[in-house]
Amino acid sequence: MRRGAACLALLLALAASADAEVRPVEALGAAPLRSDEPTQQAPRDVALHHALREAVWRVALDELTERDRARYEDRLEAVLGDAPLDYATRFRILEDRGERPALFTNDPEVEREYVVLVEVHVDTDRVRQRLRQAGLLVQPSGEGRRQRLHVVLEGVESYATYQAVCTLLSEIGVPSALPVELERGRVVLEIEAGRSPDQLLAALVAAAPPNLGIAPLASDASSLTLRARFLGGPAELAPGAGAFDTP
């Protein structure tokens, strides 16, 4: 009975993934060997894990634009996690190259490493879904329609802050941000986006430079209210740009 339930679960899992877009990727995994540090895992297992993760990351980076790759590459571990088998339908080791002189390890003190070459079948739909949830990938036009949203900036202290948010919106793929309301300390921008307000906020926070703080205040189906301010001192303003004081 238990064996029958296990077979049924396996069949259901295979059926669920039958329609998924799966991409085969060959990836190398290298585990540095340090004689002075005993390891709890076998070097082969560590190398295999690195190869699986490399394959998943490669698929994720291919889903991003060239500009977004440079911006988000250092966030992939936080976004995708450290369990690459969550995104792999199957894998097989093509070559177990074993222990050899270090070539793929950046640590100059490591002289040897364990290397495997693995073929990984990556579920690209699952990778795309995770990237969208993190706000790194815009919903394609074929899957979701673009909608008009209002981005409300509260507590705007200078034109430089307003300009920085507009630049940030452009960098995450928003084609235009039209100011529809302007008053002292408050700006309402109308944008057209292919993502929800929560996804838009996640993308803004991810793309913001270290000196620009983005804090959410409120959101609903058609608007996002936030506060943006420069951190660690006054912002560097362009000549003639002072406080944002529009009557």
Is the pLDDT score of 242 beyond 60?
Answer: no
Tokens of 192: 């057209």
Instruction: Please tell me which residue, 152 or 148, carries the higher pLDDT value.
Output: 152
Q: Which residues sit opposite 181 in a β-bridge?
A: 188
DSSP-derived 3-state class of residue 178: strand
Q: What are phi and psi of 122, to 5 degrees?
A: -100, 130
Q: What are phi and psi of 190, to 5 degrees?
A: -105, 125
CA distance 52 to 25: 9
**What domains can you pick out in the chain, each with its CATH number?**
20-133 (3.30.110), 147-230 (3.30.70)
In the block, tokens 């074929």 appear at: 142
Read off the pLDDT of residues 18-65 as tens digits, 9 standing for 90 and up. 456 899 999 999 999 877 666 678 999 999 999 999 999 999 988 877
Residue whose C-alpha is closest to residue 45's, from 31, 35, 34: 31
Across the chain, mean pLDDT equals: 79
- Give the 3-state secondary structure of 109-142: CCCEEEEEEEEEEEEHHHHHHHHHHCCCCCCCCC
Proportion of the chain above pLDDT 70, given as a percent: 79
CB 94 within 8 A of CB 118: yes
CA distance 29 to 31: 7
Read off the pLDDT of residues 66-118 as tens digits, 9 standing for 90 and up. 667 777 777 888 889 889 999 999 999 999 999 988 887 777 788 889 999 99
The pLDDT-based confidence of 119 (bands split at 50, 70, 90) is: very high
Q: Which residues sit opposite 190 in a β-bridge?
A: 150, 178
CA distance 7 to 134: 34
**The pLDDT value given to residue 146:** 59
**The pLDDT value given to residue 243:** 44
**The pLDDT value given to residue 184:** 83
Mean per-residue pLDDT, 165-170: 88
Range of lowest pLDDT (49-53, 150-154, 229-233): 229-233
- Give the 3-state secondary structure of 149-176: EEEEEECCCEHHHHHHHHHHHHHCCCCC
Residue whose C-alpha is closest to residue 164's, from 240, 69, 241: 241
The pLDDT-based confidence of 183 (bands split at 50, 70, 90) is: confident
pTM of the entire predicted model: 0.52
Residue whose C-alpha is closest to residue 123's, from 223, 17, 205, 227: 17
**The pLDDT value given to residue 35:** 72
